[in-house]
């Protein structure tokens, strides 16, 4: 069954919004013992929408988009800044991506600074 068919079964003909995808991520993170607060950075535009905090110090950033939408150039720049510092940054525009993102954040090994 295609993603479109699954989506239509769950939501009928209702258009999937960024907010719906965001709430799905927040709920899935919570079910797995994590927390995904809104990431607000006054004075620094283009930062990801959510910071995902998982048990044992695992952290990642998630930019939420409506299906098919892409990050703006400033957002891509901020994502690269965070990646350059060693953080994981994801762009999520589909419900099915939530578990993959959570799994990737949970298994990231910390670099040994010694």
How confident is the model over 15-55, as pLDDT tens digits? 899 999 999 999 999 999 999 999 999 999 999 999 999 99
Q: What is the mean pLDDT of residues 56-75?
A: 97
Alpha helix positions (H), the chain: 3-11, 18-31, 73-84, 97-107
**All domains in the chain, ordered by first residue:** 15-107 (3.40.1350.10)
Rounded to two decimals, the pTM is 0.83
Of the candidates 48, 98, 102, which has an alpha carbon nearest to the alpha carbon of residue 77? 48
Q: Can you give the pLDDT at residue 6? A: 45
Q: Can you give the pLDDT at residue 108? A: 73
């Amino acid at each position: 069954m295609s993603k479109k068919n699954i989506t239509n079964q769950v939501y009928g003909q209702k258009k999937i919004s960024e907010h719906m995808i965001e709430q799905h991520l927040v709920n899935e993170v919570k079910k797995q013992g994590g927390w995904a607060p809104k990431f607000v950075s006054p004075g620094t535009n283009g930062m990801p929408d959510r910071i995902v905090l998982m048990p044992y110090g695992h952290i990642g950033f998630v930019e939420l988009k409506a299906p098919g939408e892409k990050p703006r150039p400033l957002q891509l720049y901020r994502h690269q800044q965070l990646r350059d510092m060693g953080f994981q940054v994801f762009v999520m525009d589909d419900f099915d991506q939530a578990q993959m993102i959570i799994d990737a954040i949970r298994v990231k090994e910390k670099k040994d600074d010694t």
